């Protein structure tokens, strides 16, 4: 049961962080929208999101996974995987 709640919180937290950086509403961020192609995110925005995630969850995101952060769904999946190993 805790996993479902945790997963929902991770999605909500990341969605809100992405929306804040993109200066849009959280509900406007589609789960599969491509950060660059669909949402117009640049590399500085992406780094800001990653730094925010690392700070919030007190995790380190391995550098080799950075290119995989292409959408909200991909980001949530990666973060949840790191949190499970923690």
pTM: 0.86
pLDDT of amino acid 6 = 57
What letter would DSSP give residue 41? Answer: -
Question: What pLDDT is recorded for position 72?
Answer: 96
Q: What angle do CA 3, 63, 32 make, to 5 degrees?
A: 55
Give the model's pLDDT for residue 4: 41
Handedness of CA 76, 67, 49, 52 (dihedral sign): positive
Domain ranges of the chain: 2-85
CB 22 within 8 A of CB 41: yes
pLDDT tens digit at each of 86 positions of the chain: 344 445 679 999 999 999 999 999 999 999 999 999 999 999 999 999 999 999 999 999 988 998 999 999 999 999 999 999 88
- CATH code of 2-85, in short, is 1.10.1200.10
């Amino acid at each position: 049961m805790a996993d479902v709640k945790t997963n929902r919180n991770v999605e909500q937290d990341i969605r809100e962080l992405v929306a804040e950086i993109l200066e849009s509403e959280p509900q406007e961020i589609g789960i599969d929208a491509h950060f660059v192609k669909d949402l117009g995110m640049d590399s500085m925005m992406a780094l800001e999101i990653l730094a925010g995630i690392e700070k919030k969850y007190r995790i380190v995101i391995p550098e080799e996974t950075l290119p995989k952060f292409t959408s909200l769904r991909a980001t949530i999946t990666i973060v949840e995987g790191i949190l499970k190993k923690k």
